Amino acid sequence: MPINRFNVRSFITSHADGAKLTAKQPALIKGIAFDGGSGIREVLFSGDAGKSWQAAELGRDLGRYSFREWTIAFTPPQPGEAQWKCRAINRLGESQPMEPLWNPAGYMRNVVETVKITAA
């Protein structure tokens, strides 16, 4: 019997923090999302540090407790540093907060994660 259930989480998996890209050239961004078993309804992506959000395309639903892949095409609009964020929403309407909620050992962490990139 589980002692708790997972919070909603999502990650960008295609680009590491510090990745270098070409401005005004499309990039395919990929990631995963999961929750405690309700299922992922939507994943949103932000290429501008959370100022605006776009819906990503969800991959196949492989079951209650599996990762759900997601993808989105994004073109860095100009040279410089940027922060990419992703946010999952499950079928109950639960999502990731912009600020982390503290808990012992960090097991229930579900904050919106950030990947910093540089476009040249």
- CATH assignment of the domain containing 2: 2.60.40.650
What is the model's pLDDT at position 109?
80
Does residue 2 register a pLDDT over 70? no
Residue 77 in domain: yes
- At residue 77's C-alpha, the angle toward residues 98 and 28, to 5°, is 75
In a domain, 21, yes or no: no
Residue 3 pLDDT grade (very low, low, confident, very high; cuts 50, 70, 90): low
Q: Reduce the DSSP state of residue 105 to 3 states and report it.
A: helix
Residue ranges making up the domain that contains 120: 1-16+34-94+109-120
Q: 110: Cβ–Cβ under 8 A, 6 or more apart, which residues?
A: 7, 8, 9, 96, 97, 101
- Taking the CA atoms of 95, 10, 117 and 56 in sequence, report the sign of the dihedral they define: negative
For the chain, report the end-to-end CA distance as a whole number of angstroms. Answer: 50
Confidence bin at 27 (pLDDT 50/70/90): very high
Cα distance between residue 63 and residue 60, in whole Å? 9
The CB density around residue 116, as the number of other CB atoms within 10 Å, is 14
Q: Answer whether residue 81 is part of any domain.
A: yes
* pTM assigned to the model: 0.91
Q: Quick check: is 67 in a domain?
A: yes
Residue 120 maps to a domain: yes
pLDDT band at 96 (very low <50, low <70, confident <90, very high): very high
Residue 27 in domain: no
The answer to whether position 65 is within a domain reads yes
Please provide the average confidence, as pLDDT, over all residues in the chain: 92
Number of domains in the chain: 1
